[in-house]
Amino acid sequence: MKAKVLVVGCTGQTGRIIVEKLLANNQVDIRYCSRRQEQVDEWQAEGKEAVLLDLNEPRTFGIALAGIDRLFILTGYTVDMLLQTKTLTDAAVKANVSHIVHWGIFANWDCTEGHFAWHQLVETYIKASGIAWTNLHPNYFMENLINVTPIVDNKFVMFSGKARWGWTSLDDAASVAATVLEEGEKKHNGKSYWLSTEALNGDEAAEILSEELECKITCDIREPEELETLFNSGNTDVEITYAKNAVDIMRQIQDGRMTYMGTIRDDVPYVTGKASTTFREWVRQHKAELLPV
Ligand SMILES: NC(=O)c1ccc[n+]([C@@H]2O[C@H](COP(=O)([O-])OP(=O)(O)OC[C@H]3O[C@@H](n4cnc5c(N)ncnc54)[C@H](OP(=O)(O)O)[C@@H]3O)[C@@H](O)[C@H]2O)c1
């Protein structure tokens, strides 16, 4: 019998790729979930097994989790993630889920930045639940150059000055998640996988982008205070508590408390058996999405 897997966030950029990989490999059964009933209806009309799951409404958890063996937990950029993961983990205990795979962040254990600390708190809670666990620790997504700070007028913005980040391809990180969900707790219980393939600052990334896209791309290097001003302007829909912490990440990377964000720690080949995607390879693969109009 195949294990049944629930991927939280499967309409998002990460979850969507994980589901594609699980479908392609056909080693587990998938139950789709969304907080939007119309999305659930659409999946069901396509013959997929799908349920309503709203992370802010624990009354949706029982039906969503009944009969699930392996649960992938992904949350968004709000302080609600604390309560969401706590209540979902409790529900997983009641539903006899055998393995939780958590999508976290790349941080040292004694990190003091808020959003990263929230991830660490829920990881500790999951470990204490008694359910087998695997924690994934992706660093900066290469896809941020498409979805968060895209190239506009041959420039992209970075708010941490000249500091380096460790970049990871979302496809590689999702491959790790899919492999863990397929192989399950017997192989992956109690493991933390670190996903940071290549260390580059904005100028170094811009140089590779220029070479591969065959046009001059520059990094518009900004300071953390400028990100704070942007958030305070009210022109973004970023939650205020998260926003404060996002600025703090930039400050801590610059002042040395989080320079480890610019380091390489790459477990992709160990889990998937494949080489990680370099930044240059990723740019080649995504030329059409990156090329400035
Ligand atoms: N960006 C980076 O460089 C980076 C690096 C490391 C780690 N991370 C971590 O990655 C995570 C975000 O992943 P992502 O980029 O894949 O997110 P994303 O594309 O924004 O997708 C978020 C998903 O969560 C779902 N969701 C949101 N609120 C929900 C709720 N109340 N109930 C049920 N589902 C809900 C969304 O569903 P809808 O379709 O209904 O909105 C969507 O499917 C964060 O935890 C972040 O810390 C990011």
**pTM attached to this predicted model:** 0.97
Domains defined for the chain, CATH in brackets? 4-138+170-194+264-272 (3.40.50.720)
Q: Around Cβ 49, how many Cβ atoms within 10 Å?
A: 14
HEC string of 236-253? CCCCHHHHHHHHHHHHHH
Q: Which of 257, 203, 250, 258 is nearest to 224 (CA)?
A: 250
Q: Please give the pLDDT value at position 291.
A: 86
**Cβ burial 79-114 (10 Å sphere, 16+ → b, else e):** ebbbebbbebbebbeebebbbbbbbbbbbeeebebb
Flag whether pLDDT at 293 surpasses 80: no
Q: Around Cβ 148, how many Cβ atoms within 10 Å?
A: 12
What is d(CA 21, CA 70) in angstroms, rounded to the nearest whole number?
Answer: 15
Which residue bears the tokens 């958590």? 102
Flag whether pLDDT at 292 surpasses 80: no
The alpha carbon of 82 and the centre of ligand 1 are apart by a number of angstroms equal to 14
State the average pLDDT over residues 69-95: 98
Q: What sign has the CA pseudo-torsion 124, 126, 130, 134?
A: negative
Query: Angle of helix 13-25 relative to helix 170-183, nearest 10 degrees?
Result: 50
Nearest ligand 1 atom, CA 9: 43
Q: What is the pLDDT of residues 166-203, one digit of tens each?
A: 999 999 999 999 999 999 999 999 999 999 999 999 99
Q: Please give the pLDDT value at position 29.
A: 98
Binding-site residues, ligand 1, Cβ < 6 A = 9, 11-15, 34-36, 53-56, 74-76, 103, 105, 138, 140-141, 144
Tell the residue nearest (CA) to atom 21 of ligand 1: 12
Tell the residue nearest (CA) to atom 46 of ligand 1: 76
Residue among 41, 103, 120, 194 whose CB has most ligand 1 atoms within 8 A, to mutate:
103
Tell the residue nearest (CA) to atom 1 of ligand 1: 141
Q: In 3-state terms, what secondary structure has residue 199? A: strand
Residue among 14, 17, 39, 167 whose CB has most ligand 1 atoms within 8 A, to mutate:
14
Q: In 3-state terms, what secondary structure has residue 108? A: coil
Q: What is the pLDDT of residues 42-57, one digit of tens each?
A: 999 999 999 999 999 9
What is d(CA 220, CA 228) in angstroms, rounded to the nearest whole number?
Answer: 16
% pLDDT > 70, the chain: 99
